[in-house]
Amino acid sequence: KVQFSVPQQSDVKITLHDMLGREVKLLFDDKVDAGMQEFVVDARNLASGVYLVRMIAGTFNKTIKISLLK
């Protein structure tokens, strides 16, 4: 489960990338209302490893590193 918050209604896109920066999976791409949001990630077809998660919402752009363990 992934949670995030936006201060106002926004188009939000969240993508998963390998450590070389290649997009592996589109996790979320939708317009959301202001406030806390959450969605479930289907990771069944992903290998264990280190990934980058990139979130773009309006002019906001953030990338974090995660470890997926199965």
pLDDT tens profile 13-68:
999 999 999 999 999 999 999 999 998 888 999 999 999 999 999 999 999 999 99
Report field, pTM of the whole predicted structure over 0.85: yes
Q: What is the pLDDT of residue 21?
A: 96
Are 63 and 54 within 8 A, CB to CB?
Answer: yes
Domain map (residue ranges) of the chain: 2-68
Are 45 and 13 within 8 A, CB to CB?
Answer: no
First and final C-alpha spacing in the chain: 15
CATH of domain 2-68: 2.60.40.2550
Q: What are the angstrom distances between the C-alpha of 8 and each of 14, 20, 57, 65?
A: 17, 32, 10, 25
